[in-house]
Structure 1
Amino acid sequence: MKYTSVALLLLSSLGLVACQQEKPAEDKDQVKIEQTQDAAAELKTDAEKQAYALGASLGQYLNQQLTIQEETGVELDRKLVIKGIIAAAEDKSVLSSEQVQEQITALRTLVTAKQAEKAEAAGAENVKAGEAYLAENAKREGVKVTESGLQYEVIKQGDGPKPKEQDTVKVHYKGTLLDGTEFDSSYSRNQPAVFPLNRVIAGWTEGLQLMNVGSTYRFHIPAELAYGSRSTGKITPNSTLIFDVELLSIEDTSAAD
């Protein structure tokens, strides 16, 4: 495949096809469809398809990386990104290898700093939101607060035994953020979770020991009993978390010893 075909693919992937600039906004989607159809029609052999796929993979990666950077406030001229790709592919880069590495290192440093700033700001907002939520939630009827600050309410009370910290338990659960965003659910996977109580977040280690097998509780977990200043998936730093937890059983692990 010629370099121009790769360039066209990347331009399409990043939304920079030149003729789009000459079309009104309402025609852009149709332009993309036509260009995709034209490009697909040119792919006749496996070698051509593989070459195109390699370019598509590069375009998708670049689009993801540029989008991540833009979310942190670092916006790059996508036209220049394409120019750099074409120039390097044709061995006509205006920057030396050393200069390219220098600028990429500087870009990574900038993006990392912006991500840290964004995380710090989000963490500060989460602290305020969590404190306000827990203060109000503690006033609701049926909500109990432990000495550690864990809040819980009984949705369904079972009559089985209570687990100890060293026990392994089987549970179904759903976790949400304060805005209702679901970040994890064993129900969605249709697969209960099995884990030792002393190897999960502190809010779970404490909370599940309050439960009898057969119970369902709702836990409102302060950040310091959850992931603290760490972030994971949809959970941003200092997030207060809400879990609905159904304790299915205490597992017998003696056979595995």
Structure 2
Amino acid sequence: MKRNLLAASVAISILTLVGCGEKEPELNTPIQQASYGIGLNMGESLLQDGLDDIDPKALALGMQDALARETPRLDDEELMKAFSELQKRAEDRARKLASDTLEANEKYLTENGQRDGVTTTASGLQYEVLESGDGEGAKPTETDVVTVHYEGRLVDGTVFDSSIRRGEPTQLPVNGVIPGWVEALQLMEVGDKWKVTIPSELAYGDRSPSPVIPPNSVLVFDMELISIDSLEN
């Protein structure tokens, strides 16, 4: 009984959210909040799969029928045909986005590498020293844990992560991050502030770790190495 009530609440919540001209539901009770969370997770998953043109009303109708154990309004053949078309569109769009991103980012890397003050390492990592420590700071090794402040952006300026905006530095293992960070951190001294530009092959490559970061993305970080911490801490 409780399970059926929860299922019905989820369906009603989603239908109300997408209903034309209807008042948005409140999000006060645990069931309302959980229902919203389910919808949010579904939406984020669809975005990550490149399915941002899903019809939310039809989606809600399908969920309502499933939760109410109604007979499906479309047969298996119709659904398979629709799924195949949707998958093809998503794959075509993903390929175009990856190609466009790769082209734009290669251009950015070339132009950025020619700027005064930018150093390009053998791996292709680019960095610019914004502020140096006292010159006597230690450099972390791959087995160290460090405390850093950072802000990560795409080449178009979109911020995808920022400890600076959160107002709290982050502690992390040097060998537990993307290869570009592993390399950059071992070049920095405590107190250094750098702008680090990481080619896609030193970041996430042709993968998309989140809807905000497309495949083949060059990542740009403002990084401050605050301290090197012992593993015990």
Between structure 1 and structure 2, the one with the greater Rg is 1
CA RMSD of aligned residues (A): 4.1
Q: Which amino acid aligns with 1:199?
A: G
Matching residue of 2:109: 134
Provide, for residues 5-59 of structure 1, a one-character-per-residue CA deviation record: whole Å limited to 9, x for no partner.
x99876543234xxxxxxxxxxx5xxx45xx7xx99xxxxxxxx999x59x948x
2:14–2:35 contact (8 Å) kept in structure 1:
no
TM-score where L is the length of structure 2: 0.74
Q: Residues of 1 paired with 2:104 and 2:117: CA distance?
A: 22
Paired residue secondary structure (2:187) = coil
Matching residue of 2:214: 236
Paired residue secondary structure (1:135) = helix
**Which of 117, 121, 125 pairs up with 1:146?**
121
Matching residue of 1:184: 161
**Mapped pair 1:162 → 2:139:** yes
Worse overlay, 186-195 or 111-120 = 111-120
Residues 1:94 and 1:143: Cα distance change in structure 2 (over 3 Å): closer
Q: 1:192-207 alignment to 2 at 5 Å?
A: 192-207=169-184
1:171–1:245 contact (8 Å) kept in structure 2:
yes
Identity among equivalent positions (%) equals 39
1:201–1:225 contact (8 Å) kept in structure 2:
yes
TM-score where L is the length of structure 1: 0.68
Residues 1:14 and 1:136: Cα distance change in structure 2 (over 3 Å): same
Q: Residues of 2 paired with 1:153 and 1:201: CA distance?
A: 19
Gaps of 5+ in 1: 17-27, 41-48
2:15–2:60 contact (8 Å) kept in structure 1:
no
Paired residue secondary structure (1:209) = helix
Q: Which amino acid aligns with 1:93?
A: T
Q: Residues of 2 paired with 1:211 and 1:243: CA distance?
A: 13
1:72–1:118 contact (8 Å) kept in structure 2:
no
Residues 1:83 and 1:223: Cα distance change in structure 2 (over 3 Å): closer
User: How many residue pairs were aligned?
Assistant: 220
Residues 1:250 and 1:236: Cα distance change in structure 2 (over 3 Å): same
Gaps of 5+ in 2: none
